[in-house]
Amino acid sequence: MHEAVWDDIPISVYAKVECMIYSIRKKLRAYTDRQYIQTVWGVGYTFDPGT
């Protein structure tokens, strides 16, 4: 069913991406409270360097 709705991308790929984003956010929090990576619902993620 998943493949019929979301093409042929396996669920494990999404889980890996979420895990990596979590890890990156955790590492950034060690240096700042600013949230550089935002989740865009239905789209993915965006990075805001805050120039």
- Residue 9 contacts by C-beta under 8 Å, 6 or more apart in sequence? 3
* φ, ψ for residue 13, nearest 5 deg: -65, -45
pTM more than 0.75 = no
Q: What are 35's two structure tokens?
A: 């949230």
Residue environment code for 35-45, b if the CB has 16+ CB neighbours within 10 A, otherwise e: eeeeeeeeeee
Helix and strand counts by DSSP (H, E) for the chain:
2, 2
pLDDT digits (tens, 9 = 90+) for 1-51: 555 555 666 667 788 889 999 999 999 999 988 889 999 998 889 998 875
Q: Which two tokens stand for residue 50?
A: 């805050």
